[in-house]
Amino acid sequence: MKFFIDTADIAEIKEAHALGILDGVTTNPSLIKKSGRPFKDVAKEICDLVDGPVSLEVTAVDCEGMLKEAAELAQYGDNVVIKLPLIPEGLKACKRLTEQGVKTNVTLCFSPVQALLAAKAGASYISPFVGRLDDIGQNGMEIIPQIRQIYDNYGFETEVLVASIRNPIHVLDAALAGADVSTIPFSVFKQLVHHPLTDKGLAQFLKDWKEVKA
């Protein structure tokens, strides 16, 4: 499973990249706003920093507006993936961009049927938001194996990109369900690395080593 980081914080991206496990980046207007910097500057720096795909999101809600924004976003780097909302106009834009050879990430997916529509429109990635489903009392992870099965049943090449991840259990469940990608906040990245028994074991090894040297 590929690991993307869900952020627009350059320092976080650099740290995740240094771990040797980063495959790409997903962003949205809200994340870039938190940086306090102009959108273009942040987007260009991320694209230059990361070898893998970088999802940049449109803000238009009509197909023609999305296509216009997509053309502008694509100029920031060869690794740009156009992030589109899963609405009728977004599906239209997805189809058009796919025909042009542009990679797309259809976002704000909350059901397997929505994911099926995105795949039929040619989406490169589908982003089901598991954490937001959890927030309204559903088990968000339940839709991931359902999407995986539908895609496998019909040979769709759209990659399942699990989004709105809140904790390491989400990452584990996504991997067990056969997701292609998890896009993970930096706070969860740090949690994935640490385990209390690892820390305890290392502390004991270092203590023993000091005594051996003495």
Active site residues: 83
Residue with tokens 């496990």: 21
Contact 92, 60 (CB under 8 A): no
Kindly report the number of other CB atoms within 10 A of residue 214's CB atom: 5
Contact 4, 185 (CB under 8 A): no
| DSSP class per residue in 89-153 | HHHHHHHHHHHTT--EEEEEE-SHHHHHHHHHTT-SEEEEBHHHHHHTTS-GGGHHHHHHHHHHH
